[in-house]
Chain A
Amino acid sequence: MTSVVATNQTILVVGGGISGMTAALEAAETGKQVVLVESNPYLGGRTVQLYRYFPKMCHPTCGLEINLRRLKANPRIQVLTLAEVTGISGTKGAYSVSVKLKPRYVNSNCTACGECGKAVQTEIDDAFNYNLGKIKAAYLPSSMAYPQRYVIDPSIIGTADADRAKAACKYDAVNLDDKEEVISLNAGAIVWATGWQPYAAEKIVYYGYDRFPNVITNVEFERLADPHGPTGGKILRPSDGKEAKNVAFIQCAGSRDENHLRHCSRFCCMGSLKQTHYVQEAFGDAGKSTIYYIDIRAIDRFEDFYQKVQANPNVSFVKSKVARITQDKEGNPVCNGVNVEGYKRYATAHDLVVLAVGMEPSVKGIDIPAEVMSDSSGFIMADPANAGIFGAGCATNALDVNRSVQSATAAALRAIQVVNKVARAEV
């Protein structure tokens, strides 16, 4: 049985991405007890799946490392991975929360030596790389994964592969009898930071994401550019592995669309502007980027970044929402539409099309197992009816990393105020 120490003065943080980690650290560093619950086997969420950040083009691993150092140095945070909140009862200052823990089949003896991964033969989709490649069914989710511990995929439990993993382990870290369990814990306040997921691009039927191999999403493109990604950082298109030197970015793929996501996802314009840098860096003047847009929303201080990309002669902008993607005989995706500047039709072939898909909340407000107010897109709204539950980061709105951290710090402060009140009452 997993044991967790939690009282009504504990703050529960749901979601271990950049927002959840920030909220947990900010609260713990003021002396509060924190339980951090994460459904993945590792912390860091979507942020660690990025290659670089805008606007400074630095690597997320850097920020993650700082946060992990803070986390490891802080005894007040208890981290539960592979954990999901299934029920919340009680009231502000006295919540009772049930948490389902999925088995990892690897205990804390693990040194991440990798012998089990070598022994196992079955391969599964590489979720960390958005299923662009395959990994062994005993795996370390990413090189930066925290906890730095292997995971055995449930699909091989009960097969000879699982026994091979166990036999290969020199540290007695593999426990094939690991079972799913449900634990219950107390909390005075809850920070809900379950983040976002990319919009399901196949729903935008006329872009053919599920029909054309060379139409990918922006989050997948991050993995292609990352040296730890499936192509070792080479921008190769999926159909034939050819270098994608002529890349189209389609903005508002699903966002600002009453038929898909009603809201502007805010980060995708900057995301695509950033990704033109990847093309430029990989191929120099041979790398061409084309951004198809309705209007570029490089908010406040990001305008500088936009202007610098505009000045790059290898990046062109077409004011038009692409109406249809087709494929030519060479397997090149062809963007079809009407350019609003001049109202002329175009049909332009590219090596690769990147759909700048938007954000939707991973857990929609209505699916949170407590009474929480949310807007029509499912983002949590600040409302007194939420009582001691506070949304943070992308669970509350479509935000970039910077704004997620601000939002998480604010949520931590609100949660601290609740548990302070509890503490005064209990003295």
Chain B
Amino acid sequence: MSDLNQKMAAKYQNNFLKEIEEQAEMGEWVKMCMQCGLCSGSCPTNFQAGWDHPPQELFMMIRAGKRDEVLKSNSMWMCTSCYNCYVRCPRKVPVTHVMHGIAEYAYRIGQSPKNQPTQHLSKTFWDNCTKTGRVNEVKLTQSLYFKDGIGSGIKKAMEMQSVALGLVKAKRLNLLEAVGIAHKCKDIKGIHAMLAKANELEAKRKAEKAEA
């Protein structure tokens, strides 16, 4: 992973904007930002407590070549995909997608922040739902609650007890999923084959870009 990081850093030297444009999905939009601030102003998350940098600051940092600060930032991971910024951007920059593109790139080259909750959820969710084609809610919740150890896991589980009971009563949560008896897709093999093909294509495309 970090090999890829060193390779990319060497390849683009001090031109971080070009690196993002070529390697991150939707990165070519970064240069279109005119720094009006409508994206950050429209963002429903309170980024000053949670985010390092709002979107237009992140875009300016990319142009300024602040490679480490951008890639290691937690900002891209805080996006809730509400699409307010995307809809309103006067330059039609797909801000939401750019944020995800940068996040994915940072993760791919091993520079994303460690133990970042959104990143952890994304990965866990993906692994969980691709196994059977359906989400195993009990296992997903478990792996999230016990992310930081047994003690905090039990504490969180107790806090959420009434919600879980409500879900069970409404038949939205099946506790048997804990032992692997869970809803699944009919053609699991087919789904796995499809995802494997998609992975293969994406990996090929990204490798070609990295080598180009």
> A residues engaging B (CB < 8 A)?
206, 252, 256-260, 294, 319-324, 336-340, 343-345
Neighbouring A residues of B54 by C-beta, 8 Å = 338, 343
CB–CB B41/A320 < 8 A = yes
Q: Is B90 an interface residue (CB 8 A)?
A: yes
| Chain B residue, CB-CB nearest to A205 | B88
CB–CB A320/B90 < 8 A = no
Residues B47-76 near A (CB distance < 8 A): 48, 53-54, 56-57
CB–CB A343/B88 < 8 A = no
- How many angstroms from the CA of A317 to the CA of B48 in the assembled complex? 22
CB–CB A320/B42 < 8 A = no
Contact check: which of B37, B42, B87, B91 meets A339 at CB < 8 Å?
A: B37
CB–CB A324/B36 < 8 A = no
- How many angstroms from the CA of A323 to the CA of B36 in the assembled complex? 10
- How many angstroms from the CA of A337 to the CA of B37 in the assembled complex? 7
Tell me whether A324 and B34 are in contact in the complex, defined as CB-CB below 8 angstroms, given that A258-B90, A343-B53, A343-B57 are known contacts: no
Q: Can you list 24 A-B contacts with CB-CB less than 8 angstroms, sorted by A residue number?
A: A206-B42, A206-B88, A252-B36, A252-B90, A256-B90, A258-B90, A259-B87, A259-B88, A260-B90, A294-B35, A294-B36, A320-B36, A321-B36, A321-B37, A321-B41, A321-B90, A322-B41, A323-B38, A323-B40, A323-B42, A336-B41, A340-B36, A343-B40, A343-B57
CB–CB A320/B92 < 8 A = no
Neighbouring B residues of A258 by C-beta, 8 Å = 89-92
Neighbouring A residues of B35 by C-beta, 8 Å = 294, 340
| Chain B residue, CB-CB nearest to A335 | B41
4 nearest CB pairs, A to B: A323-B41, A337-B41, A257-B90, A321-B36
Most buried by B among A258, A337, A343, A344: A343
Neighbouring A residues of B40 by C-beta, 8 Å = 323, 337-338, 343, 345
- How many angstroms from the CA of A294 to the CA of B88 in the assembled complex? 15
Min Cβ gap B25→A in Å is: 21
- How many angstroms from the CA of A369 to the CA of B88 in the assembled complex? 34
Min Cβ gap A165→B in Å is: 49
- How many angstroms from the CA of A22 to the CA of B49 in the assembled complex? 58
For chains A and B in complex, what number of residue pairs have CB atoms within 8 angstroms? 61
CB–CB A320/B37 < 8 A = yes
CB–CB A344/B92 < 8 A = no
| Chain A residue, CB-CB nearest to B92 | A258
Most buried by B among A256, A321, A324: A321
Neighbouring B residues of A324 by C-beta, 8 Å = 41-42
| Chain B residue, CB-CB nearest to A338 | B40
- Could you list 6 further interchain pairs (A-B, Cβ under 8 angstroms) beyond the known A321-B37, A338-B54? A258-B89, A259-B88, A259-B92, A336-B41, A340-B35, A340-B56
- How many angstroms from the CA of A254 to the CA of B92 in the assembled complex? 14
- How many angstroms from the CA of A258 to the CA of B33 in the assembled complex? 13
Neighbouring B residues of A337 by C-beta, 8 Å = 37-38, 40-41
- How many angstroms from the CA of A291 to the CA of B114 in the assembled complex? 42
Neighbouring A residues of B89 by C-beta, 8 Å = 258
| Chain A residue, CB-CB nearest to B57 | A343
Min Cβ gap B75→A in Å is: 11
Residues B67-103 near A (CB distance < 8 A): 87-92
- How many angstroms from the CA of A337 to the CA of B35 in the assembled complex? 13
Neighbouring B residues of A345 by C-beta, 8 Å = 40-41, 48
Neighbouring A residues of B34 by C-beta, 8 Å = 256, 294
Neighbouring A residues of B36 by C-beta, 8 Å = 252, 294, 320-321, 340
Min Cβ gap A292→B in Å is: 9
Contact check: which of A319, A321, A344 meets B38 at CB < 8 Å?
A: A321
| Chain B residue, CB-CB nearest to A293 | B36
CB–CB A340/B48 < 8 A = no
Neighbouring B residues of A259 by C-beta, 8 Å = 87-88, 90, 92
- How many angstroms from the CA of A344 to the CA of B47 in the assembled complex? 10
- How many angstroms from the CA of A345 to the CA of B54 in the assembled complex? 10
- How many angstroms from the CA of A324 to the CA of B53 in the assembled complex? 20
- How many angstroms from the CA of A294 to the CA of B38 in the assembled complex? 10
Most buried by A among B48, B56, B89, B90: B90
Min Cβ gap B83→A in Å is: 13
Neighbouring A residues of B38 by C-beta, 8 Å = 321, 323, 337
- How many angstroms from the CA of A252 to the CA of B91 in the assembled complex? 13
Neighbouring B residues of A252 by C-beta, 8 Å = 36, 90
CB–CB A338/B53 < 8 A = no
| Chain B residue, CB-CB nearest to A322 | B41
Min Cβ gap B43→A in Å is: 8
Min Cβ gap A248→B in Å is: 14
Min Cβ gap B136→A in Å is: 39
- How many angstroms from the CA of A336 to the CA of B35 in the assembled complex? 16
- How many angstroms from the CA of A97 to the CA of B90 in the assembled complex? 40
- How many angstroms from the CA of A337 to the CA of B43 in the assembled complex? 9
